[in-house]
Copies of this chain bind each other. A is one copy, B any other.
Amino acid sequence: MDDRKKKILQAVIDEYVGSAEPVSSSALVEKYNLNYSSATVRNELAELEKSGYLDKTHTSSGRIPSEKGYRFYVDELIKDDDISIEEMKYIQTKLDAKVNEIEDLAKIATTTLSEITHYTTVAIGPKPEKQIIEEIKFVLLGSRMLMVVIVTDSGLVKETIIKYDEDITQNQVETLNNLFNAKLKGKPLSKIDKPMEEYILSEITYSVDVIKPIIEQINRIVEEAGTIYLEGANKSFDLPEFKSLEIAKNFVNVLDEKELMLDILDSGMAKDINVYIGDENDKEELKDFSVVTFKHSVGDKDLGTIGIIGPKRMNYSKVISVMKYISKKINESKKGE
């Protein structure tokens, strides 16, 4: 593909991303000051269409980018510095906010990403089983409420509360601390299985009624740890793609399927940013959308994945630029600690 074709393809995509309307040859000449007549551009458009980079909605319509066109754009034509000073400052301010829990930082990043791009964003934390338990702490609140706190190596802190019908002694709390730390410290964060449960029960000299709910609640925490976070779902409704209520509903349903969302975010490769355009998505439900994801991490420690779900007609330049910036800033902020 020669330079002129590239320039025209880029112009078509930039224009279409903004307008959501098929782009005509004359519009390209006018707005992108190409030094050729509309007839010449028309010839080029016809060839780009023949090569599969563009489509038409009907025989006499303007052109819209095909998925192959978007893919070429993402691979070859993208500007990855499509982010303004103001946007950088805004991101900086947001991420600087005093957050101490690692999950809060991920949430703030997700929200900020949605605010700046105006697309729907989703996030998941690191996989529970990849996290190592650093400490389990039992804390007595009043005399009948027991709080269990689990701290992992990646900085995740999870806690739960158990209410009892009778008093718990400080002695019991000590025993629990010792026992659970002895057995679980250094292990991955995963559910307590039957053998382990039986071992713990056998070690404990007092009532099963105290232990059972603890194990139940720990398992519940672990289960919830891989939970999904969603931001800006309503933003997508302003997109012209969603003028059909059919599509809008379909979109909402996709977001609602937590399992599906988990799969999408999980499927990201080790690459820093992954882009899936339309049919490139594994899931049937997403073939009309594009998904862009990135893992944030410090060193080799995976801290979770953040993604954008939007129309294929997405502003890939902006999305990728902002993601790169946020990713860099998260990494820096973690290093400081």
List the interface of chain A (C-beta within 8 A of B).
98, 100-101, 134-135, 137, 139, 141-142, 145, 147, 149, 151, 157, 159-163, 213, 216-217, 233-234, 237-238, 242-243, 245, 248-249, 252-253, 255-256, 337
Contact = CB atoms under 8 A, between A and B. Distances in A.
Given A248-B248, A249-B237, A252-B234, A98 B149 contact: no
Copies of this chain per assembly = 2
Nearest 4 A-B pairs (CB), nearest first?
A234-B252, A100-B161, A100-B163, A141-B151
Most buried by B among A145, A252, A255: A145
B237 A256 contact: no
Contacts of A237: 245, 248-249, 252
A36 to B, nearest CB: 39
A155 to B, nearest CB: 8
A227 to B, nearest CB: 13
Contacts of A248: 237, 245, 248
A252 B243 CA distance: 15
Given A137-B139, A141-B149, A245-B248, A213 B161 contact: no
A266 to B, nearest CB: 23
A337 to B, nearest CB: 7
Contacts of A101: 160-161
Contacts of A134: 142
Contacts of A98: 213, 216-217
Given A100-B162, A234-B252, A243-B245, 18 more contacts: A98-B216, A100-B145, A100-B160, A100-B161, A100-B217, A101-B161, A134-B142, A135-B142, A137-B139, A145-B157, A147-B149, A147-B157, A147-B159, A163-B337, A234-B255, A237-B245, A237-B248, A245-B248
Nearest to A244: B245
A249 B248 CA distance: 11
Most buried by B among A101, A160, A234: A234
B141 A139 contact: no
Nearest to A101: B161
B151 A157 contact: no
Nearest to A165: B337
A65 to B, nearest CB: 25
A279 B253 CA distance: 32
A237 B250 CA distance: 11
Nearest to A162: B100
Contact of A256 (B151, B217, B234, B252): B234
A262 B235 CA distance: 22
